[in-house]
Amino acid sequence: MEEDIVRKLRDAFAKGVESEERVVYVLVEIRKLLEKRHEAESYPALKFYCDWAVHPWLDAAGAARIVKRFDRFEELSHTGAFEPGQRVSAEDSRLLEDFRHTLELTKFQQQLSSYLGQLGLDEIPTENWEWWLMFLRQYASVIQDCPLLCENSGLCFVDKVVARVMKVKQSEIECAFVVEWSWLSKQTGDVKAYCMYF
């Protein structure tokens, strides 16, 4: 069975990842292998992003971890930690680094590349920026408006985060696409957003 899934993945990637359907298909097949081979714990980010592609919302541990990053970011913003002359703690610096990796989906790319390599699918060009942008654009469309939730956990600033693909006029900025991450500040009632330009 595992060899069949690897063959299906090779065939699917060879056809290209120019559609949401193809991206979902390869992530479902990867998820099957992660579970069948008991490797999900070794690839937590990859497992999380595979899960996100097939659920209308996520509220498990991976989603909570991401929402908590947004909660802390909002708390730091709310308390003026990003004002000129202010400094953040070493712990918050690490959190902000993780926050940036979340926005850029860095660990998704790294773990996808690593796992495909482990499966002997080294020919999949996950490290190629153009390929990754094509894959990520389709993936972002799949997860669009599927919130990450961390409700009833005592968070004071954020308990829900949503990602959306934004349309960009080619004349406005040079980028392939934009992912807007948005959340509602529980303190101010304002919708906040952070855009990542890819």
What digits encode the pLDDT tens for the residues 125-149? 999 999 999 999 999 999 999 999 9
Query: With contact defined as beta carbons under 8 Å apart, do 15 and 7 qualify?
Result: no
Q: Phi-psi bin for 16: left (phi > 0), alpha (psi -120 to 50), beta?
A: left
Q: For position 176, what pLDDT does the model report?
A: 82
Whole-number Å distance between alpha carbons of 116 and 112: 6
Would you state the pLDDT for residue 192? 96
Q: From first to last of the 198 residues of the chain, give the pLDDT tens digit.
A: 899 999 999 999 999 999 999 999 999 999 999 999 999 999 999 999 999 999 999 999 999 999 999 999 999 999 999 999 999 999 999 999 999 999 999 999 999 999 999 999 989 999 999 999 999 999 999 999 999 999 888 899 999 999 999 877 665 567 789 999 999 999 999 999 999 999
Helical (H) or strand (E) element with 17? none
pLDDT at 169: 67
% of the chain with per-residue pLDDT over 90: 88
Read off the DSSP letter of residue 41: G
The pTM score is 0.90
Contact (CB, 8 A) for 46 and 35: no
